């Protein structure tokens, strides 16, 4: 396991400031993970109360994003970090933006639980839950990789995004087929499609965060390139 040691500064105060920011990011990540978990449970259990809880809790995540962003701005102005320190602060700023957007996607998913589905249409939700659990596991692994700044774990999760894409595409084919067979189901199926799309986007956000970890540890920007190209870039020592 390849990780990066952040506790290497002569200034103990600088260490404390970085640790405080990282702790707040982990707190935000925990809240976002719970939001997604609750949203998925609300949909599968048709739990309107839990869905409403997800909708009402979003402000906590928004507030944390603003607070962490302000902390990062302050540490840049005060400490003028360079090299790895600057990469760490920039990785944090980008990560909290993606975490906030993951929470927004969880909100979209929870809204499905506020709709009424027939017994037959419940199958849509069960199929979506398979994708949801895969995305939830990906988010958990992403947060773990970020918490430990674990390059190997981040690279592994980054490569798994294609599995989410395949599950999403398979679900889309099922839903499109059902709409063609029963046009009356279109409004309900569209709700599920938008929720499935939200899950696919969460997978993309997780991939982004893993790229930030790779950038911090390796100093390599691997955005917008294929997995094969990512591996090639990381093998290149230049």
pLDDT value at position 115? Answer: 84
- What is the reported pLDDT for 40? 95
Counts of helices then strands in the chain (DSSP H, E) = 8, 0
DSSP string, 91-122: HHHHHHHHHHHHHHHHHHHHGGGGS---TTTH
User: CB of 8 within 8 A of CB of 48?
Assistant: no
| The pLDDT of residue 4 | 45
- Chain centre distance of CA 157: 11
35 within 8 A of 185, measured Cβ to Cβ: no
Taking the C-alpha atoms of residue 234 and residue 80, their distance in angstroms, rounded to an integer, is 28
Name the residue with tokens 């760490």: 88
Residue 75: how many CB atoms within 10 A of its CB?
20
pLDDT values of the chain reduced to their tens digit, one per residue, 238 residues: 344 455 555 467 888 888 999 999 999 999 999 999 999 999 988 899 999 999 999 999 999 999 999 999 999 998 888 788 889 999 999 999 999 999 999 999 999 888 877 676 677 777 788 899 999 999 999 999 999 999 889 989 988 888 999 999 999 998 898 889 888 888 888 988 999 999 999 999 999 999 999 888 887 777 766 666 666 666 664 4
Distance CA 186, CA 176 (A): 9
Question: Are 195 and 112 in contact, with CB atoms under 8 Å apart?
Answer: yes
Cβ(209)–Cβ(98) below 8 Å: yes
Instruction: Quickly count: other Cβ atoms within 10 Å of residue 68's Cβ.
Output: 24
| 3-state helix vs strand vs coil in the chain, percent to 5 | 85, 0, 15
Residue 145 class from Cβ within 10 Å (0-12 exposed, 13-18 middle, 19+ buried)? buried
Which residues sit opposite 3 in a β-bridge?
150
How crowded is residue 221: how many other Cβ atoms within 10 Å of its Cβ?
12
């Amino acid at each position: 396991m390849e990780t990066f040691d952040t506790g290497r500064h002569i200034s103990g105060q600088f260490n404390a400031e970085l640790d405080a920011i990282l702790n707040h990011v982990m707190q935000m990540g925990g809240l976002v993970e719970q939001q997604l978990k609750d949203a998925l449970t609300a949909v599968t259990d048709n739990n309107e109360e839990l869905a409403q809880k997800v909708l009402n809790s979003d402000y906590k995540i928004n507030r944390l994003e603003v607070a962490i962003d302000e902390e990062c701005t302050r540490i840049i102005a005060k400490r003028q970090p360079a090299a790895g320190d600057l990469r760490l602060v920039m990785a944090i700023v980008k990560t909290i933006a993606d975490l906030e957007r993951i929470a927004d996607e969880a909100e979209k998913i929870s809204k499905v639980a506020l709709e009424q589905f027939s017994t037959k249409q419940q199958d849509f939700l069960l199929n979506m839950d398979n994708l949801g659990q895969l995305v939830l596991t990906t988010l958990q692994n992403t947060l773990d990789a970020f918490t430990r700044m674990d390059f190997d774990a981040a690279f592994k999760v980054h490569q798994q995004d294609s599995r989410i894409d395949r599950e999403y595409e398979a679900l889309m084919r099922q839903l499109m087929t059902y709409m063609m067979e029963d046009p009356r189901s279109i409004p309900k199926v569209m709700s599920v499609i938008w929720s499935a799309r939200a899950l696919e986007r969460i997978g993309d956000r997780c991939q982004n965060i893993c790229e930030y970890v790779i950038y911090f540890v390796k100093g390599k920007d691997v955005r917008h390139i294929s997995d094969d190209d990512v591996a090639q870039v990381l093998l290149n020592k230049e």
